[in-house]
Every structure is written in C-alpha cells, then in structure tokens.
Amino acid sequence: MQLPTLFPLLLLLLSTTTISTVTAANATVCQYTLYPSFCRSSLPITNSSANVFDYGRFSVRKSISAATKFSNLINKFLANPSALTTPAVSALRDCRYLADLNLEFLQNTFQTVEKPQPNSVSLVKSQDIQTMLSAILTNTQTCIDGIQATSASWSSKNGILAPLTNDNKLYSVSLALFNRGWGHPKNKNPSNSRSHHRSKLNGFSNGRLPLKMSDKTKAVFETVGRRKLLQSDDQVVVSDIVVVSQDGSGNFTTIMDAVNIAPNKSQAADGYFMIYVTAGVYEEYVNIPKNKVYLMIIGDGINQTVITGNRSVVDGWTTFNSATFIVTAPYFVAVNITIRNTAGAVKHQAVALRSGADLSTFYSCSFEAYQDTLYTHSLRQFYRECDVYGTVDFIFGNAAVVFQNCNLYPRQPMSGQFNAITAQGRTDPGQNTGTIVQNCSIRAAEDLGSTKTYLGRPWKEYSRTVYMKTFMDSSIDAAGWREWSGDFALNTSYYAEFENSGPGSDTSGRVNWDGFHILNATEASGFTASVFIPGDDFIPQTGVPYEGGL
C-alpha cells in the first residue's frame, strides 16, 4: 500500500497544528500520543481550559522527576556491586550513564517549553528538542536491552525493568505533546533542496579545512604550529593542532592523550581543535566525551591510520561498550582513519564505532568488524565516502543518519547465519530517526560466499530505513528485506527504495509488507541530507563534500 506522505506514521499520529487553535481537554490532548490511556492517568490536569502546552510542560516536568528517581535507583544498586553478576554491573553502569544523559536532555527541553510564548520557538530549536526527546527514548531502550541481555537470575532485574517501562511511556508522551504543540511543519520544499557538489579539498582552498594529508597540508602543519588558522573573513576554522605519532616525533604517542588535553565545551567561533594522527596501528580504545565539542581527528588515510580493539559480548562486554571507538561530542569530525574490531564473527556483537555525537561528520573513514560493526546509536550523523564491512546487522542503532557515496561490504558470517546490512531501532513514530543510504555501493567483500544478504530487518517496532540511488550487486537477496521474528513490525516499520541500480535492486521480488514502499522523487526528497538531517547547517563548516538533495 503506497501512502501519500513522506512520513505517514509520524504525520498520522503526531501531526503539528497551528498554535492558536490548540486547546483541548485531557482526553483530546492525550489522543495525539502513542499511549492515550497512560497519558490520561499520568497527567491528571482537571482544568478544562488546559491546552497542549500545559500538558506538554507538565509531562516534561514529570519526566524529569522520573529520570531523577531512576538515576537514584541505579546508583542504589551499584552501591553494592558484589551482590550482582559482572554482566549486570556492566549493564547498570551503561544505564547510569544513559540516565544522566536523559536528565540533561530533559532539563534542556524544559528550558524551551517553559517559555510563555510557544510560538517563539524557532525551527532549529524545535528540531533540536525533538532530537533530544527522540534520543531519550533511544537511551532508555538501550538500558532495557542491556538489562534484558543479562542473566535472568539476578534479583534486581525486575526492580529495574518495571520503572523503565513506565518511564518510556512517559517520555513517549512528552515527545508526542512536544511535536503536537511546539513542532514546526517542514518549511523546506524537498524538491528544491540545495545541492552541494564540492570536490575533495587539499589544503586551504576557499578557506576550508585541509581534508587530505597532502604534502602541502603537512607543510601547513609545520609552519603554523599552534597559531590560529583564519579564513579570509577572520572566522576561526582551526584553533589548535596537535600531532599524534607513535615514533615520538609528534606532541603525543597515543590518541587519548591528545583527546584529554583538548578544550572543553568549545564554541563554533573558537574553531576546531584538530588532532592529526600519523600513519600506524594504534591499539587503544578511544572515548571522546560529550564535553569535547568541535573536535576533529584526521589520519593519513584508510588502512594507513588504524585504530583497533577486540572487545565483544562473548568476552563480557555489553554491546554498548564493546566499541573500539566511542564518540558523544557534538560537531565531531573524523577524516582518513580506519576503525576496527578484530574480535571476529565467533564473538558475536563486537562494535568498531559507536557514535552518539550530534551533528557529527565522518569522511573517508573505514569501519571494519563482523556483527554490529557500526553503532549509529542516537542523534544526527553524516557519513561520506566511508567503507563499512560486516555481517549481521552491521549498521544498527537509532540515529537520524545519512550515508552518502559510501561502500558497504557484506562479508562471510558464521556458519548458519545470514547477513543484514541494517537493523534500525526506532521505537516510536514521533522520533525523527532513521537510516538513509544514498548514492552508495553494496558489493560483496572478497570472503563472502553464497550467504544471503538482506538490506535490513526491523530491530524495533517503527524501524525506518531508506535506500536511494544505490548500486546493489547480486549478493542482495531478491526479497530485499528480512523478518526479525515472525510478523513483528512488518506493518509498522518504514522501509523504502528509490531508483537503485544493479542486479540486486530489482524490486519485483521484494517483500509484500505494508511497511515496504517504492518512492517517487518527491517522497525521496524528504530523506536527503538537507531535509532529514540539517545538513546545510553543520556540514559546510567541515569542508566535507555533500549533496543536500537527490
């Protein structure tokens, strides 16, 4: 069944409305949420003149209270770790981190919704808040998944899952009410989105950052030292540069030493703090925290600058913390590096990169592992001209993410397994998340035999993945998409294809799920970098080439 809108589920359940007309009683307001009965019982506002903004503010306040209680509960359990299994402690530590992040996002949200004039909220701020509320649901689901993956024998498990279930419903209600009251209609015509066709930059052409480590660029490093690099209009591009080199010729010999001295909470006007990592194999785990804003890491090229680790679920790590490279810093940029997890297919979930970095950009990078290679966990991300190697669900998570001009390489999994390129994890129709694959290439890795490979499968109920103008070789099964378990999410997911090419792109044998769509150009435009993520707002400053439209 072909639905006429770009985001049918979102617009059906959570459509925005003119602020002057939004006045409703409890039952009317709650009908816009995914859990109307829960909404009515949880937001007992008796004032008949209360409107969606009153309910939204109350819901966010209650969400802050719930998140605080849950954070305290986690700390209570972790105060006596000896009473828990090692996997339980690991999962609870993930939950503590995610709960604290949720509190921060909710407090930021309340600073916006408490304002007496809701119509003063800009489009950018509205999108930012919707992104944070979407991430809160993702963080909570990540905690639930981690707890459920631990042994069922530990006595505290139910004491964690029960409040989490209610908290998740409350966060969903907050998201729905925010979308209804403060959400803005898409004010861009997708078919008129600006297209950007920039060449790869060597050096400082047009005042942009050097994104290829050419001889000219290296000479720039040698001559500018720690002086600020300025554009012609005197806006700071790079505030500082440090060099990581294993032979001791740079400022540091490890990447984390360089990350640790980077400034905290930089502003756009400060420019990027750049870490240049020379060629070599760096056996270290890199974790770039959220306070290292505007950080850029540049290597000497794919397979030249390599960061590698081997953590896995089989060896006792949670999927969330198995990553070789973790980044949560907004406006992060990575260029010319390879990130690997060498645990192998036999170790099951073993992540190379986990990103929860909002408005982050990855350019000319390679991500190599087997199951769960690239964890696009949350918030808004962009990947350009990157390589991704993997087997089962090797691009997964619940970010709003666009892959553009990338190479996706299905490789040989364990015996009896099949390959799924994506496992997108949207749990709520109000979330602005999804995985978009545009103008990419899917080709079998050298080791792939006759194993069936699918474009994706529905990890969560409202999974959303779109392939546009992508080459698909014969390794893609004719059905295209694969079930997760029985008929779970086959009708609520949103899977779509637009003008793909190659022997694997023939849609005549595709699945007949209600959630599968063949798009026209107008519909496909809604999933471009300028519309689905605010690409025009954050990619140009990086100098990375991109196309805003189709």
Name the CA dihedral angle for 13, 423, 546, 340, rounded to a multiple of 10 degrees: 150
- DSSP string over 59-70: HHHHHHHHHHHH
**Separation CA 448–CA 506 (nearest Å):** 21
280's tokens: 């070599």
Question: 200-223: buried (b, 16+ CB within 10 Å) or exposed (e) per residue?
Answer: ebeebeeebbbbbbeeebeebbee
For 159, residues 6+ apart whose C-beta sits below 8 A from its C-beta are: 73, 77
- Strand intervals (E) in 425-549: 434-438, 441-442, 453-456, 464-468, 471-472, 494-498, 516-518
**Separation CA 38–CA 172 (nearest Å):** 10
Q: Which of 444, 437, 436, 402 is nearest to 419 (CA)?
A: 444
Residue 172: CB atoms within 10 A of its CB come to 26
**Separation CA 205–CA 484 (nearest Å):** 48
The residue annotated as part of the active site, out of 128, 387, 393, 428, is 393
Helix (H, G, I), strand (E, B) or coil at 215: helix
Q: Which of 255, 83, 103 is nearest to 171 (CA)?
A: 103
Max Cα distance, the chain (Å): 72
**Separation CA 201–CA 360 (nearest Å):** 19
- DSSP string over 40-97: HHH-----TT--HHHHHHHHHHHHHHHHHHHHHHHHHHHTSGGGS-HHHHHHHHHHHH
Annotated active-site residue 393? The verdict is yes
Ramachandran sector of residue 236 (left: φ over 0; alpha: ψ -120 to 50; beta: rest): beta
- DSSP string over 344-382: -GGG----SEEE--TTEEEES-EEE-STT-EEE-SSEEE
**Separation CA 454–CA 471 (nearest Å):** 14
Q: Looking at the annotation, which residues are catalytic? A: 393
